[in-house]
Amino acid sequence: MGILIHKGTKVLIQGITGHEGLFHTQKMMDFGTHIVAGVTPGRGGEWVLDGKIPVFDSVKTAVDMTGAEVSALFVPARFAADAMYEAADAGISLIVCITEGIPIADTMRVHEYLSHTGTLLIGPNSPGILTPGESKTGIIPGEIAKPGSVGVVSRSGTLTYEVLYTLMSNNIGVSTCVGIGGDPIVGMNFVEVLRLFEDDPHTEQVVLIGEIGGNEEEKAADFISREMTKPVVALVVGKNSPSGKRMGHAGAIIEGSTGSVQEKVEALAKAAVKIAETPDDIPSLLLK
């Protein structure tokens, strides 16, 4: 068992009747995720995926009828903020927002709103959460990781997949993998996820995957130096990225003298974090 989700977690899908929603819902079900409902306004009363999943008009109705605890968002960017408000108002404890391209102003308003509720947010622009052998919420491929004791937290999607596969290829298992999202403003950050791993008895070491832009890695380094007792290995990418040019994610941009790989690596190294140059370096650093 890892953090945030486990085998018994009841998940609903907002935007389940869209192409992406249906496709990834089936993948999650194939993995063993306990999906209890879907939500698409105006489609309530329908059933999808060969009659396995009921569709409701609202999150509140879905929660009342099924006891859903976690929501995965596969709704278009223009509707995403309202979908997150609706999920929080319905009592959902964790929102995993896969949607990308949400305006920063919308995310800021959602972030402020959720701060007054008991609802946690992963994302936007997140690949989701994977607890190998138990449950996954999002789009992380389930077959690229095995159960184990290494926690993974990442700002990058595809790099996360590469690291998970590298760990599995070296017979290293994962407790939970959390993709916090690559936007400038996200819900749960590195520090909040690291704190969960620090308190998790099933996690013995942590891999942190960072990238250029912002100062989340520096904040993580400060937390690690002050409160973390478990070993941390970090990989920060974007070493050759030019200043002022966005690289991939909306949050991956060096502005002036801030947000560079060098700054982040120096802060993490000062906190006694082991630094990997490539994903292939991570297994040996974990085993030292």
Within a domain: residue 25?
yes
| Predicted pLDDT at 282 | 98
> Could you tell me if 63 and 171 lie in one domain?
no
Within a domain: residue 253?
yes
Query: Residue 183 in contact with residue 126, Cβ under 8 Å?
Result: no
| Predicted pLDDT at 58 | 98
For strand 34-39 and strand 47-48, is the pairing parallel, antiparallel, or unpaired?
unpaired
Write the DSSP symbol of residue 142. Answer: G
What residues contact 264, with CB distance under 8 A and at least 6 apart?
A: 210, 212, 217, 218, 221, 236
Average pLDDT, the chain: 94
| Predicted pLDDT at 259 | 77
Within a domain: residue 215?
yes
Q: What percent of the chain has pLDDT over 90?
A: 89
pLDDT at 213 > cutoff 90: no
Angle at 190 between CA 24 and CA 80, to 5 degrees: 40
> Could you tell me if 156 and 219 lie in one domain?
yes
Reduced to 3 states (helix: H, G, I; strand: E, B; else coil), residue 281 is: helix
Q: Which of 95, 122, 149 is the last residue of a domain?
A: 122
Within a domain: residue 40?
yes
> Could you tell me if 72 and 37 lie in one domain?
yes
Question: In the predicted model, what is the mean pLDDT of residues 75-104?
Answer: 97
Reduced to 3 states (helix: H, G, I; strand: E, B; else coil), residue 75 is: coil
Q: pTM value?
A: 0.93
d(CA 165, CA 122): 22
> Could you tell me if 110 and 193 lie in one domain?
no
* DSSP one-letter string for 215-227: SHHHHHHHHHHHH
Question: In the predicted model, what is the mean pLDDT of residues 38-66?
Answer: 98
Within a domain: residue 135?
no
| Predicted pLDDT at 242 | 52
> Could you tell me if 261 and 164 lie in one domain?
yes
For strand 94-97 and strand 10-14, is the pairing parallel, antiparallel, or unpaired?
unpaired
Of 129, 47, 159, nearest to 16 by C-alpha is: 47
Within a domain: residue 111?
yes
> Could you tell me if 224 and 110 lie in one domain?
no
Question: In the predicted model, what is the mean pLDDT of residues 8-27?
Answer: 98
- We report the CATH number of the domain holding residue 108 as 3.40.50.720
> Could you tell me if 197 and 69 lie in one domain?
no
> Could you tell me if 84 and 39 lie in one domain?
yes
Domain that holds residue 108: 10-122
Question: In the predicted model, what is the mean pLDDT of residues 155-163?
Answer: 93
Q: Can the peptide bond before residue 184 be classed as cis, meaning omega within 30 degrees of 0?
A: no
Q: Is 6 a catalytic residue?
A: no
Q: Locate 237 and state its tokens.
A: 């990418």
| Predicted pLDDT at 157 | 86
AA identity, residue 214? G
Q: Say which range, 50-54, 159-163, 249-253, 269-273, has the weakest mean pLDDT.
A: 249-253
> Could you tell me if 73 and 209 lie in one domain?
no
pLDDT tens column, 219-238: 999 999 999 999 999 999 98
Strands (E), 205-263: 205-211, 232-237
d(CA 144, CA 27): 13
> Could you tell me if 61 and 161 lie in one domain?
no
| Predicted pLDDT at 82 | 98
- We report the CATH number of the domain holding residue 267 as 3.40.50.261
Within a domain: residue 23?
yes
Q: Please name the helix (run of DSSP H) or strand (run of DSSP E) that holds residue 88, with its range, or none.
A: helix 77-89
Q: Which of 122, 150, 183 is the last residue of a domain?
A: 122
Within a domain: residue 130?
no
pLDDT tens column, 235-250: 999 865 555 444 455 4
> Could you tell me if 171 and 222 lie in one domain?
yes
Catalytic residue among 34, 111, 202, 249: 249
pLDDT at 255 > cutoff 70: no
Q: What percent of the chain has pLDDT over 70?
A: 93
| Predicted pLDDT at 288 | 83
φ/ψ bin of 225: left (φ > 0), alpha (ψ from -120 to 50), beta (otherwise): alpha
Neighbours of 71 (CB within 10 A): 29
pLDDT level of residue 253 (50, 70, 90 thresholds):
very low
Q: How many domains does the chain have?
A: 2
> Could you tell me if 253 and 152 lie in one domain?
yes
